[in-house]
Amino acid sequence: MDNQQNEAVKTTVTAFINENLGSVSELNFISTAHEPDEKNVITTILSPNGKKTEITTDCDDAKNLGIQALAIELTPEEDKRLVRKIDLNMFPLMSLVYAIQFMDKTTIGNAAIMGLLTDLEMTGDQYSWAGSAFYFGYLGGLFILPPLLQKTKYFMKLLCAIIVIWGMILALHSAPRVNYGSFIFLRCLLGFFESSITPAFTIITAQYWKKEEQFLRICIWFGFNGLGAMWGCSMAYGLFIRADTYSIAAWKIVFLSTGCITIFVGLIMMLHLPDSPKKAWFLSKYEKLLLTQRIRDNQQGFGNHHIKKHQIKEALVDPRTWLFFLYCIAANIPNGAMSNFQSILFRSDFGYTTERTLLVSTGIAVVEWGGLPLLGFASYFCAKRKVKYLSSRLIWSIIALIMALTGVCMLAFADGNKSAKLAGVALNYLSPLAFICVLANISANTLGTTKKWTVSSITLVGYAAANIAGPHTFISSQAPHYSGAKISLVVCYGSSIFILAALYVLNVRENKRRDKLAMDSPPQPHIENIEFADLTDFENPFFRYTI
């Protein structure tokens, strides 16, 4: 039987299964290479590293929809309509929640200049430790919450419950008997629960959008950090100028109001967003099949609920994991420093009043809210038109880091020129584009559900550790100018550029190696639905890294 006849038979069998049987897990991969054995192995393929890789029945959640979608041809019109529908139903709440989590996390910076330091009698480096406490909790949460989210089939409900709990904890910051010790404890708890949001949103983005679309989507929802900063600063400003009219301290009302907002949005999110694309109430059964078909080229589906030890080991030996980790260390020391000390720096170094500090902070946050999506659109535009080099998201991230490096140089060395230093702080708000690129790389380039969660968690361990260290670059003895902290910002961003350049070279060289290997090696066996076999990027010979 020749190849055309063979394909015709497969198409006929698949159509029969779809029409009469729905989906049968043992028939999701059509191959004659091996029969299933006691390990539920369906067949084996040769990985890009020359190792035999077993394809088992322990596959992705999308596998049943995948076989039903094989006969479907997705038209450009259907594709646009489906993407628009997903964007409208998923994105508003995702973006709002991400804005709120940033507002919750950075509320301490506004509270610090509204009387928090005085009321809790913080002296010396106690405020620095209050800033770090959040990330001690965040660090602990990364070892507990991501595995729970992977294993549960009620993914969104658990995530929303976590959001509601951290909203309650934030509101408790305003309790009458809060002292320095209890405040530190609450900051740790808040960080513990907030550690779930970024890895969860990274997984959601991989479930619903093509890998070439994911960078722009992450730019948009991550860019809402800017809205969160504007929202928090404007609310703090309104409360501060009327502080004498309240029965409790204005900084406590900041925590109470942001906590209540978080609880409300968490409950709305629980009612609206589905646990997985398979349960998406806003998609018909046919649209779910279309979604499965359109993400087939991602070489990954909706996820797998079993923790696989070999994928954890692979994550630990993958050099990309440690480049992500090193990047997060280098880039987030400045983040931890500025998110906690920017308001204090405006007052001490720039000489602004509390009112002016809150107003200026509100204004420059627009740079992040508008700048990150704008750079994401520029990257997407260049990629669609295949502009040499500028088609790479990593190149755009390096450009953003160069702009941020220029900004912190202006902050550190433009002595006596407040306008130049303020412009430098504004340029620093573009630096998260590189962190977004790392998240997009994890989303698009790290295959295998367990491996993806593991790499994401290791990366965010670096994020948490750097944010713990960041506030301590501001040494009280160097007030009011904090020259040592400013120099550390310059060094960290310079290091970040070299790390992302190394990641770019690594992915380009590996793609060229795989292309050459595919040309020189015998063809791999044709296996239907291999995209949903929950293979890792080390195991899947058909996968290429996005640059």
Q: What share of the chain is helix, strand, coil (3-state, %, to 5)?
A: 70, 0, 25
Q: How far apart are CA 67 and CA 280, in angstroms?
A: 19
The tokens for 257 are 């109001």
Closest CA to 62 of 103, 25, 21, 107: 25
Predicted confidence at residue 76, as pLDDT, reads 87
The answer to whether residue 181 scores a pLDDT higher than 70 is: yes
Q: What's the pTM value of the predicted model, to 2 decimals?
A: 0.80
Work out the burial of residue 317: count CB atoms within 10 Å of its CB; fewer than 13 is exposed, 13-18 middle, 19 or more buried: exposed
β-bridge mates for residue 56, sequence order: 41
The answer to whether residue 126 scores a pLDDT higher than 70 is: yes
Closest CA to 440 of 294, 315, 367, 546: 546
Predicted confidence at residue 61, as pLDDT, reads 65
Predicted confidence at residue 28, as pLDDT, reads 39
Predicted confidence at residue 14, as pLDDT, reads 44
The answer to whether residue 384 scores a pLDDT higher than 50 is: yes
CB 179 within 8 A of CB 335: no
DSSP code, position 46:
E
CB 217 within 8 A of CB 91: yes
pLDDT digits 0-9 by tens, 405-452? 999 999 888 877 888 889 998 998 899 888 888 888 888 888 888 898
Q: What is the mean pLDDT of the segment spanning 250-273?
A: 94
- Give the confidence band of 66 by pLDDT, cuts at 50, 70, 90: low
Predicted confidence at residue 68, as pLDDT, reads 73
pLDDT digits 0-9 by tens, 334-382? 888 887 788 888 888 788 888 888 888 888 888 888 888 999 889 888 8
Predicted confidence at residue 15, as pLDDT, reads 47
The answer to whether residue 5 scores a pLDDT higher than 80 is: no
The answer to whether residue 520 scores a pLDDT higher than 70 is: yes
Q: What is the mean pLDDT of the segment spanning 289-302?
A: 79
CB 139 within 8 A of CB 465: yes
The answer to whether residue 27 scores a pLDDT higher than 70 is: no
CATH class given for the domain over 76-517 = mainly alpha
Predicted confidence at residue 151, as pLDDT, reads 83
Domain boundaries of the chain, sorted by first residue = 76-517
Contacts of 459 (CB under 8 A, 6+ apart): 321, 324, 325, 328, 438, 442
Number of CB atoms found within 10 A of residue 12's CB: 10
**Stretch (H or E) spanning 355:** helix 354-384
Predicted confidence at residue 510, as pLDDT, reads 95
Closest CA to 162 of 138, 183, 182, 178: 138
- Give the confidence band of 39 by pLDDT, cuts at 50, 70, 90: low
Work out the burial of residue 116: count CB atoms within 10 Å of its CB; fewer than 13 is exposed, 13-18 middle, 19 or more buried: buried
- DSSP calls for 364-411: HHHHHHHHHHHHHHHHHHHHHTT-TTTT-HHHHHHHHHHHHHHHHHHH
Q: How far apart are CA 340 and CA 359, in angstroms?
A: 17
The answer to whether residue 38 scores a pLDDT higher than 50 is: no
- Give the confidence band of 60 by pLDDT, cuts at 50, 70, 90: low
Q: What is the mean pLDDT of the segment spanning 261-273?
A: 95
- Calculate the average pLDDT of the chain: 84
- In the chain, what percentage of residues exceed pLDDT 70? 91
Q: What is the mean pLDDT of the segment spanning 256-285?
A: 93
Predicted confidence at residue 90, as pLDDT, reads 92
Predicted confidence at residue 301, as pLDDT, reads 66
- Give the confidence band of 288 by pLDDT, cuts at 50, 70, 90: confident
Question: At which residue do the structure tokens 């670096």 appear?
Answer: 462
- Give the confidence band of 254 by pLDDT, cuts at 50, 70, 90: very high
In three-state secondary structure terms, 485 is helix
Chain centroid to CA 116: how far? 31
Contacts of 349 (CB under 8 A, 6+ apart): 421, 480, 481, 482
CB 85 within 8 A of CB 290: no
Which comes out higher in pLDDT, residue 384 or 173? 173
Contacts of 244 (CB under 8 A, 6+ apart): none
pLDDT digits 0-9 by tens, 448-466? 888 988 998 899 899 889 9
